[in-house]
């Protein structure tokens, strides 16, 4: 079975540029999560979708960040404009059910973002 697929694996961009991270969840999974990982802040939940609908975006740092899930097999996380402090590893994860805080999360391999 294919796991959660993220692209690109690495992204290097200059400050002010737009960055789009992509995620394909496991087929049949109903919930999708975007996490950000840094040394200083650890693993932070940014946003969570259930059945393609954003349920909780309270972790999105600011208006420069936006996330969409146009269908059950695809999600994007966009940063515009990007800043050096956005440099981190961004993980996408999916789970089979409603994401009610009691399900196993399956993580993608992550996108290492560097904003110069």
Q: Which residues bind another protein (CB under 8 A)?
A: 33, 35, 42-43, 45, 48, 56, 58, 91, 93, 99-102, 104-110
**Comparison of 57 and 81: residue with beta carbon closer to another protein:** 57
**Comparison of 54 and 81: residue with beta carbon closer to another protein:** 54
**Comparison of 33 and 65: residue with beta carbon closer to another protein:** 33
The answer to whether the beta carbons of residues 35 and 105 sit under 8 Å apart is no
In sign, the C-alpha dihedral spanning 70, 72, 73, 74 is positive
Q: How far is the CB of 15 from another protein (least distance, A)?
A: 25
Q: How far is the CB of 105 from another protein (least distance, A)?
A: 6
The answer to whether the beta carbons of residues 69 and 12 sit under 8 Å apart is no
């Amino acid at each position: 079975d294919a796991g959660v697929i993220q692209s690109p694996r690495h992204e290097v961009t200059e400050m002010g540029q737009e960055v789009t991270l992509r995620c394909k969840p496991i087929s049949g999974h109903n919930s999708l999560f975007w996490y950000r990982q840094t040394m200083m802040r650890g693993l932070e939940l940014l946003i969570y979708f259930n059945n393609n609908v954003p349920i909780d975006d309270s972790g999105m740092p600011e208006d420069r960040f936006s996330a969409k899930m146009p269908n059950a097999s695809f999600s994007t996380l966009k940063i515009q404009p990007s800043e050096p402090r956005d440099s981190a590893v961004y993980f996408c994860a999916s789970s089979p059910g409603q994401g009610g805080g009691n399900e196993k999360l399956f993580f993608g391999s992550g996108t290492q973002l560097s904003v110069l």
